[in-house]
Structure 1
């Protein structure tokens, strides 16, 4: 299988060639030249598979240049009950992503898919643990090194660092917005003392961190000299790893392939729900893909109006679902590429406008850049928005009605899911994190602390190691040089 850039000016490459990188050389994002298809017979055959073997069956369609025996060994090493051991009471850790039915009646069938049983208590572990093992495998074959340069709004950083800590030949430089993560998220990252983990708190918002990663990645000479790779969701391997749990959720919630399901996904950077879009393009029977945003509602605005309008840093709000405090959704370009019938030249022009004008307009109205908004429904996308008061109310209602405590981002998802639920169609809400990561808001909603898995009781009291830096590209390059010796 070959991969092409969404902007059309980079050579096609294989899975292994794009694995360790991020952006294509023309600034675009990689996608397969065609999406592999999954037949009904395959879906039936996959119903009894373990999560690890299901991951193998899906990944082998995309990583065709990795020997199947090696790929199967990697997925079985990654997806074990020992790694995903932080299951809630009553959940089976061996299922990796167990489902919990919250409500099933004539009006709606609401299901929660647990994705936060990994070592950092967030869904990012589902892909990042695989990525760490894939990186180690690829680097060992080439006897090479890799300097990971990434950005996080809260959960990507800790998931990447826990997946990469102690890995041979790998250093991690992780940017995060200074003082804009929860206390738990901050401690989870900054308390790591491993010498190959370097945390950088950037004076700005997440979009500033993300812009630094893109600027460094677009300097091809520096990227090659410093052996720069990325673990952000611009990395294709991370997105395709997330495709797996859509298939698992569907297979667990249905009994035959004539039934459709919908998924609601709390979303900021569009990576998680982009994986759902890919699963749907592969033939998974998905009815709706529901985008749930917080006050930073760039994506909700687009899916309601066709207008994509990036917010400036001063308009990017610091909220109680901070992992979604994003106003420039990196993976959105992958969907736009498909929406525009894979017209790479139009994609290139539209995202040049994002940089120059702050967005584009596909509503079809006067002066717009196209009329493709009318085609969005054919891809199953709808959206909604949740604010702080909604989160508090949803956390209280879910606890009262279903006896389960959810984190703030999952609360955003449940609130929007209930607005789009249809009779007879299971609505699967993708859990984002365990509530312990956002204890301040849980305490506000429920008047008590969130339960913490063993080993996380006093994480905020651990010594922290990080540096504070301005959002300056040259300063960041100098810092990387100083710590790689290259």
Structure 2
């Protein structure tokens, strides 16, 4: 299995090489040269597997430069009961609609599902090669803590995580900034997530700087994140169906497009997915694209701060991977579209709009603050279950796309404890906090605050890099 770039300028590379590279040298994103296919017989043979065993099988389709026994050992460490006491349960909410519970890990968010594997595989590959890696990432809330908890104390790797100063929930900030591990560095930037992400892309795109400082990535530009997320689509399908070929739809709260991209790829691999329901908040650039065919990211000044802050993103890093498929894997056309986007701030693919649903299964919708409050309240009144604001966006949009013959799974984004203020506003109830995190916001915090300036970030990184 070799990997190529969406922009066509990278020689084919094996998995372990792209794992450590992050962004491709030509500025594009890595994808397999060919996608493995899932037959009905293969899927049926996986029904009795544990999550760790399933992860080893699915990831093994994409990784042929790590021995299968080593891969299984890593997935067992990543997805064992000490990390996930319960893993990816199905939680029924109403007829035809359930949550796929992805927030049972150490940081109470779905990002743990992929990050725990990344923590294992980074340490394994770096030790095998005798190398070190400095992870440079950006977070709108959940990626940062999931990456830091997965990589804290790991040998040969340091994490430098940018976050938008003052724009995450207090719980999210405390999860990240309270970590005291020497290999964890939190940098709060005066700006929005998109500007943090721009700094990461700028420094990762400077090939000399990247090489000298051994830069890597854990954001969903890293293919390993996407591959690990494909696993829970397969797991969810296996648990929502009883017979081969039965269709399931998935609703996905979407900001950076990585989570739903994994569903898109699972569908292309042959997993029987009917609809991929993309849900956004008020920052509805992706919803607008799937509705109109026009991709028009907003500037930082027009990116709203909302009550589902992890989705306060206007420029989705992973959208380029879907774009590659949409233009029939024409890397030259991808390059031209990205140049047009840089020059004009948008591009128009409305001529391909019919393919969004007919060929790829996508439908979309947006949710507002009032919508998510009403949805949180309604679900709690009906079922006694509290859901977080991002999951509420997913439930809200999913309800407009229910099919009586097709189960709908909403990918749970986080546990409500991370967003207590909004839960209290919606229901008057304070969400329960796990016992080991009840003092989280009182713990000492360690963070560096700086201007939105790539040179300042670069200087800090060089000073503290491994």
| TM-score normalised according to structure 1 size | 0.95
Aligned to 1:327: 314
Residue among 290, 313, 316 paired with 2:277? 290
Aligned to 2:195: 208
How far the C-alpha of 1:143 sits from its partner, in A, is 1.3
> 1:418-447 CA deviation, whole Å, 9 max, x = no partner?
011111100000000000000010111111
- Residue 375 (str. 1) matches residue 369 (str. 2): no
Residue among 368, 383, 386 paired with 1:387? 368
- Residue 305 (str. 1) matches residue 285 (str. 2): no
Match runs of 1:425-444 below 5 Å: 425-444=406-425
- Residue 141 (str. 1) matches residue 122 (str. 2): no
Aligned to 2:441: 460
Q: d(CA) in 1 for partners of 2:457 and 2:344?
A: 26
3-state secondary structure, aligned to 1:354: helix
How far the C-alpha of 1:458 sits from its partner, in A, is 2.1
Residue among 169, 173, 179 paired with 2:156? 169
Aligned to 1:36: 36
Q: d(CA) in 2 for partners of 1:21 and 1:119?
A: 26
Q: d(CA) in 2 for partners of 1:24 and 1:483?
A: 24
Runs (4+) of structure 1 exceeding 4 A deviation are: none
Q: d(CA) in 2 for partners of 1:67 and 1:136?
A: 15
How far the C-alpha of 1:258 sits from its partner, in A, is 2.5
3-state secondary structure, aligned to 2:274: strand
How far the C-alpha of 1:151 sits from its partner, in A, is 0.3
Aligned to 1:52: 52
Q: d(CA) in 2 for partners of 1:314 and 1:395?
A: 29
- Residue 99 (str. 1) matches residue 79 (str. 2): no
How far the C-alpha of 1:403 sits from its partner, in A, is 1.4
| TM-score normalised according to structure 2 size | 0.99
Aligned to 1:367: none
Residue among 428, 446, 451 paired with 1:447? 428
Aligned to 2:401: 420
Aligned to 2:140: 153
Q: d(CA) in 2 for partners of 1:110 and 1:187?
A: 33
CA RMSD of aligned residues (A): 0.8
Q: How many residues align?
A: 465
Q: d(CA) in 1 for partners of 2:217 and 2:40?
A: 35
Residue among 349, 369, 386 paired with 2:336? 349
Q: d(CA) in 2 for partners of 1:132 and 1:232?
A: 13
Q: d(CA) in 1 for partners of 2:360 and 2:450?
A: 41
> 1:42-80 CA deviation, whole Å, 9 max, x = no partner?
010000100000001101110011111111111111111
3-state secondary structure, aligned to 2:93: strand
3-state secondary structure, aligned to 1:328: coil
Aligned to 1:90: none
Aligned to 2:457: 476
3-state secondary structure, aligned to 1:259: coil
Contact 2:40 2:245 in 1 (8 A): no
Q: d(CA) in 2 for partners of 1:186 and 1:356?
A: 35
- With 322-331 and 13-22 compared, the bigger mean Cα shift is at 13-22
Q: d(CA) in 2 for partners of 1:37 and 1:350?
A: 29
Q: d(CA) in 2 for partners of 1:342 and 1:469?
A: 40
